[in-house]
Amino acid sequence: MREASERRTATDTDSYAFSFINQSNANEGTTAADFCRMRDNLSNALKLIEEYNQLYNTSFKALPPYRLFPGDDGDYEFKNQQWPGNEHAGVYLILSRTGEVIYVGQSLSFGSRFYQYFRNEGGKCIILSDNWSAMPYAIVAIQAPDEKKYERLSLEEYLIQNLLPIDNVRGK
């Protein structure tokens, strides 16, 4: 069982969401309503992960959002960095620019799965599929405990049922 100090509280969750949104939208003309919607969407997803961990006595860990298009000009700042949680199993969220969760998926290896969707070409993020309901903007990797990697299937279903992401609901 995890120590209480390792658990993310609702306040921590809001700070995490706020930090990402603040980084993502500085100087991009985001309205106050967009900002609030983003904060609420990401905060809700993180609270669901926290709730799942408590209900099923597990310890999935949400990694910081990984922006696919961090600069105003579309430059891919992380071109020399590995995907978040690269060699780990877990669940991932694909977020739109407005912070809406458009897809929830799972994988035994985040790096392999993300490489199926996105490529780095000349410092730019290339989206390999045009089947998204909105343009993917960020990824949140939710790392499964190594000894419980098969629980990712249950968390994926839990998040899909609670978040109803458009690309899971309508199919891809």
126/108 Cα distance (integer angstroms): 23
Q: What is the DSSP letter of 134?
A: S
- 3-state secondary structure (DSSP) of residue 94: strand
Mean pLDDT of 98-124: 87
Confidence of residue 5 (pLDDT cuts 50, 70, 90): very low
Determine the angle formed by the axes of helices 152-163 and 32-55, rounding to 10 degrees. 140
- 3-state secondary structure (DSSP) of residue 85: coil
Confidence of residue 99 (pLDDT cuts 50, 70, 90): confident
Please name which of 43, 41, 44 lies closest in space to residue 96, comparing C-alpha atoms.
41
pLDDT 10s digits, 21-45: 555 555 455 567 766 777 888 889 9
pLDDT of residue 156: 97
Give start and end residues of each alpha helix (H) in 26-151. 32-55, 110-117
75 neighbors 133 (Cβ within 8 angstroms): no
142/110 Cα distance (integer angstroms): 9
How many other C-beta atoms are found inside a 10 Å radius of the C-beta of residue 12?
Answer: 12
Exposed, middle or buried: residue 130 (CB in 10 Å: 0-12, 13-18, 19+)?
exposed
Q: What is the DSSP letter of 5?
A: G
pLDDT of residue 11: 43
Q: How far is C-alpha 160 from the geometric centre of its chain's CA atoms?
A: 13
What tokens were used for 165?
């992401």
